[in-house]
Chain A
Amino acid sequence: MSGLYKVSVTVNGQAYEREVEPRLLLSDFLRHDLGLTGTHVGCEHGVCGACTVLFDGEPVRSCILLAVQADGHAVTTVEALSPNPDQLHPLQQAFWESHGLQCGFCTPGFLMTLLPFLEENADPSEEEIRHAISGNLCRCTGYQHIVDAVKLAAERRRESDG
Chain B
Amino acid sequence: MKPAPFEYQAPASLDAALDILAHRVGDIGEAKVLAGGQSLIPVMNFRLAEPALLVDINKLAELDFIRRGDDGGLRIGALTRQRRLERDLSVAEVAPLLHETMPFIAHPQIRNRGTLGGSLAHADPAAELPAIAVALRARFRLRKAGGERWVDAADFFRGLFTTLLEPDEILVEVAIPPLPARTGWAFLEIARRHGDYAQVGIAALVTLDDAGRCREARLVYLSAGDRPIVAREAARLLAGQEISPQAITAAADKASRDEMEPFGDVHATAEFKRHLARVLTGRALRKAAERAERTKGRAA
Q: Which of B34, B46, B56 contacts A45 (CB 8 A)?
A: B46
Chain B, range 6-26, C-beta contacts under 8 Å to A: 6-8, 10
CB–CB B109/A22 < 8 A? no
- Pick the most buried of A55, A61, A65, A68: most chain B CB atoms within 10 A of its CB: A61
CB–CB B54/A46 < 8 A? no
Smallest Cβ distance from A14 to chain B, in angstroms? 23
The residue of chain A having its C-beta at the shortest distance from the C-beta of B194 within the complex is: A134
CB–CB A46/B3 < 8 A? no
Segment at the B interface, from A1-9, A77-85, A98-106, A149-157: A1-9
Q: Could you tell me the distance between the alpha carbons of A141 and B21 in the complex, rounded to whole angstroms?
A: 48
Smallest Cβ distance from B85 to chain A, in angstroms? 14
CB–CB A25/B2 < 8 A? yes
CB–CB B10/A135 < 8 A? no
Q: Could you tell me the distance between the alpha carbons of A32 and B110 in the complex, rounded to whole angstroms?
A: 24
> Which residues from chain A contact B113 at a C-beta distance below 8 Å?
55, 60-61, 64-65
For residue A97, CB closer than 8 A to chain B, the reply is no
> Which residues from chain A contact B109 at a C-beta distance below 8 Å?
49, 52, 59-61, 113, 135
Known: A1-B7, A22-B6, A131-B194. A64 touches B1 (CB 8 A): no
For residue A21, CB closer than 8 A to chain B, the reply is yes
Q: Could you tell me the distance between the alpha carbons of A30 and B8 in the complex, rounded to whole angstroms?
A: 20
> Which residues from chain B contact A3 at a C-beta distance below 8 Å?
7
- Pick the most buried of A5, A65, A69: most chain B CB atoms within 10 A of its CB: A69
CB–CB B2/A44 < 8 A? yes
CB–CB A46/B38 < 8 A? yes
Interface range, B side: 20 to 34
Q: Could you tell me the distance between the alpha carbons of A44 and B4 in the complex, rounded to whole angstroms?
A: 14
A-contact 0/1 string along B137-177, CB 8 Å cutoff: 00000000000000000000000000000000000000000
CB–CB A44/B8 < 8 A? no
The residue of chain B having its C-beta at the shortest distance from the C-beta of A61 within the complex is: B109
For residue B37, CB closer than 8 A to chain A, the reply is yes
B-contact 0/1 string along A45-81, CB 8 Å cutoff: 1100100100100111101111011000000000000
Known: A1-B7, A22-B6. A45 touches B112 (CB 8 A): no
Known: A2-B7, A23-B5. A63 touches B45 (CB 8 A): yes
> Which residues from chain B contact A66 at a C-beta distance below 8 Å?
8, 34, 37, 41, 56
Smallest Cβ distance from A32 to chain B, in angstroms? 10
> Which residues from chain B contact A60 at a C-beta distance below 8 Å?
109, 112-113
Known: A44-B45, A45-B42, A63-B45. A135 touches B110 (CB 8 A): yes
Q: Please name 8 further chain A to chain B contacts, defined as beta carbons within 8 Å, in addition to the given A22-B6, A45-B42, A64-B42, sorted by A numbering.
A: A5-B8, A24-B1, A25-B2, A46-B41, A61-B109, A63-B45, A66-B56, A135-B195
Interface residues of B (CB under 8 A from A): 1-8, 10, 34, 37-38, 41-42, 44-46, 54, 56, 58, 83, 106-110, 112-113, 193-195
